[in-house]
Amino acid sequence: MSAEPGSTWKETPLIFERSRPGRRAGRPPRPDLPVPDLPDSLRRSRAPRLPELAESEIVRHFTALADRTFGVDTGFYPLGSCTMKHNPRVHERAAALPGFRDLHPHTEDEDAQGALELMWHLQGILAEVAGLPAVTLQPAAGSQGELTGLMLMRAYFADRGEDRDTIITADTAHGTNPASVTMAGYSLEKVGTDTRGNLDLDDLRGKVNARTAGLMLTNPSTLGLFDEGIEQVARIFHDAGALLYYDGANLNAVVGLSRPGDMGFDIVHYNLHKTFSQPHGGGGPGGGPVAVRDTIEPFLPAPTVVRNGDTFRLNHDRPKSIGRVRGFAGPFGVFVRSYAYMRAYGPALREMSEVAVLNANYLLARLRDAYDLPYDRHCMHEFVLSARNLKREYGITALDVAKRLMDYGIHPPTVYFPLVVPEALMIEPTETEPKERLDDFVDAMHAIAREAAETPELLKEAPHGRPVRRLDEVRAAKQPILRYLFDEHPAVVA
């Protein structure tokens, strides 16, 4: 029931608040058989308070929640570093084919030839794109790809009897890189960024030594800039006997244009949900395959997909493998979608990246006068602006700009990352946006810059057209309410 009739955003109670004792939707089969007793110690003592609703109300509930969710289907979503491109609907149709959707992962290889063939082709395309020969599809996401990559380094050096304990990352690195370093049991060393946005080579030379296991780098960097010194960087590490790890989150910039393997990277992860359009699903699923050089291939997780003649099989017999990092052979449904995306382009995957870069540079060119540009270069598939000019002059922050964009029907860019740029607005349009959507965004960003001068309070109080406005995150963290508490639940505020 609407709080104030006429307001377009109706209140959406929690599904538990929509429940009524005795309501139900699903009626599982109940064969005419006795139900054996369980020992008291194992029998459920208190029924779980699951929702109790009719099916019609369940459908309405999720329909209402979906209406309060903004996706790529809703509009422009230039969330930097996340590559929010169009998700073709044919991917959902394909992943739902019974031969894929209902295939049990313990199926014998000879009965899963279609699935294995798809994965084998996917490995091949990924290898060609990275310029590295061997691929594991197992990691569940980019972060796990990173961790897998670091485990591979450990195994590689252990196998060579070398003892190296440090991983170097850029100060522009995504938080997952240092976090992965710790989880892999390595210690972390940071290097700075020079004035052109490249790795600071002098700083680097001073830090690479015999203890150095390797580098983790995103290229193009999180600034959206291709590292112009990448060849020297690679030489420095390889000369020190260390390895280079490529964080593939920004691969969408260089497919068919420059290959990590050719840049000198030894280990690469891909984010299938970014570059190859697995729908992001409100947070996931994803896919984080890893490609490596021959020298590292023996250590890849088991199983891998291999081909003999016309048949394909899972190879579990990998004596030097680091082991498995996830269940089964990876998130197969994601593979179906990403393989479909690749096949829709073929060799024109190169054009995919060209357009991603063209779109980003067009936005950059049209916005550079209204916002600060920390590194004045052509960008790759994304770029980082700073709202510090608005902050200096009108007290308007990157967050205010982000919130106001919502009123224009546009999802905000990534804000306050990378950390090296104050008031950062990290903008990634992707290749699937038509020019009109880019122009809408330019118009909105210019209008907001004007509003910052003329009606700053409008921005401070934004958004005005969303169901809620400026949530109290401090309160959320200070007095955490992390689940519905039923009778003890605090009354709905206001």
Partner 1 sequence: MGYLSLTDADRAEMLAAIGVSSVDELFEQIPPGVRFQRELDVPPALGEAELMRHLEELAAKNVHTQAELSFVGAGIYDHYVPAVADVVLSRGEFLTAYTPYQPEMSQGTLQAIFEYQTVICELTGMDVSNASGYDGTTVAADACFVAKHVTDRHKVVLAETLNPQVRQVVKTYAPGFGFAVVEVPHRNGVTDPDELARASTDAAAVFFQQPNFLGCLEDAPALAAAANEAGALSVAHVDLMSLGVLEAPGAYGCAIALGEGQAAGNWPSYGGPHYGFFAARSEYVRRMPGRIVGETVDADGKRGFVLTLQTREQHIRREKATSNMTTNQTLLALAGLATLSWLGPEGLREVGETCLALAEYTRERVPLEPAFEAGCFKEIAFRTPTPTRDVIRRAREHGVNPGYALGRDYQGMDDVLLVAVTEKKSVEDIDRLASVLEEVCA
Ligand X SMILES: Cc1ncc(COP(=O)(O)O)c(C=O)c1O
Which amino acid belongs to residue 153? M
Rule CB under 8 A: choose which of 76, 78, 123, 129 binds partner 1. Answer: 129
Contacting residues toward ligand X, per CB under 6 A: 81, 141-143, 174, 176, 218, 222, 247, 249, 271, 286, 288
Residue 247 binds which of partner 1, its own copies, ligand X, none (CB < 5-8 A, kind-dependent): ligand X
User: Residue 488, interface with partner 1 (CB under 8 A)?
Assistant: no
Residues 6+ apart with CB under 8 A from 129: 251, 255, 256, 259, 270, 349
**Alpha carbons 291 and 403: distance in angstroms, whole number:** 39
User: Residue 311, interface with partner 1 (CB under 8 A)?
Assistant: no
Enclosing H/E stretch for 75:
none
The one-character DSSP state at 293 is -
Please say which residue, 159 or 443, places its beta carbon nearer to its own copies: 443
Find residue 425's DSSP bridge partners: 385, 415
Find out whether 91 and 337 touch, Cβ atoms under 8 Å.
yes
Residue 6 binds which of its own copies, partner 1, ligand X, none (CB < 5-8 A, kind-dependent): its own copies
Residue 163 binds which of ligand X, its own copies, partner 1, none (CB < 5-8 A, kind-dependent): none
User: How far is CA 257 from each of CA 305, 348, 352, rounded to the nearest angstrom?
Assistant: 27, 11, 10
Least Å distance, CB 179 to its own copies, is 33
CA atoms within 13 A on the CB side of 195: 0
Nearest alpha carbon to residue 24 among 64, 51, 63 = 51
| Biggest alpha carbon–alpha carbon distance for the chain | 77
Instruction: Provide the CA 251 distance to its chain's centre, in angstroms.
Output: 12
Find residue 134's DSSP bridge partners: 292
User: Residue 395, interface with partner 1 (CB under 8 A)?
Assistant: no
Residue 222 binds which of partner 1, its own copies, ligand X, none (CB < 5-8 A, kind-dependent): ligand X
The one-character DSSP state at 217 is E
User: Residue 213, interface with partner 1 (CB under 8 A)?
Assistant: no
Please say which residue, 66 or 210, places its beta carbon nearer to its own copies: 66
Residue 289 binds which of ligand X, its own copies, partner 1, none (CB < 5-8 A, kind-dependent): none
Residue 218 binds which of ligand X, its own copies, partner 1, none (CB < 5-8 A, kind-dependent): ligand X
Q: Which stretch binds partner 1 (CB under 8 A): 140-148, 238-246, 389-397, 443-451?
A: 140-148
Least Å distance, CB 66 to its own copies, is 10
Please say which residue, 166 or 222, places its beta carbon nearer to ligand X: 222
Find out whether 166 and 194 touch, Cβ atoms under 8 Å.
no
User: Residue 273, interface with partner 1 (CB under 8 A)?
Assistant: yes
Least Å distance, CB 236 to partner 1, is 15
Q: Which stretch binds partner 1 (CB under 8 A): 86-94, 206-214, 235-243, 291-299?
A: 86-94
Residue reference for tokens 């100060």: 171
Give the count of beta carbons closer than 10 Å to the beta carbon of residue 287: 30
Please say which residue, 117 or 440, places its beta carbon nearer to its own copies: 440
SS3 62: helix
Least Å distance, CB 118 to its own copies, is 20
**Alpha carbons 442 and 78: distance in angstroms, whole number:** 12
Contacting residues toward its own copies, per CB under 8 A: 1-2, 5-10, 18, 20, 23, 53-57, 59-60, 63-64, 67, 72-75, 86, 88-89, 404, 407-409, 432-437, 440, 443-444, 447, 462-466
Find out whether 191 and 204 touch, Cβ atoms under 8 Å.
yes
**170 phi, psi to nearest 5 deg:** -80, 155
User: Residue 351, interface with partner 1 (CB under 8 A)?
Assistant: yes
Rule CB under 8 A: choose which of 46, 195, 369, 487 binds partner 1. Answer: 46
Residue reference for tokens 């940071």: 190
Residue 178 binds which of partner 1, its own copies, ligand X, none (CB < 5-8 A, kind-dependent): partner 1
Please say which residue, 142 or 331, places its beta carbon nearer to ligand X: 142
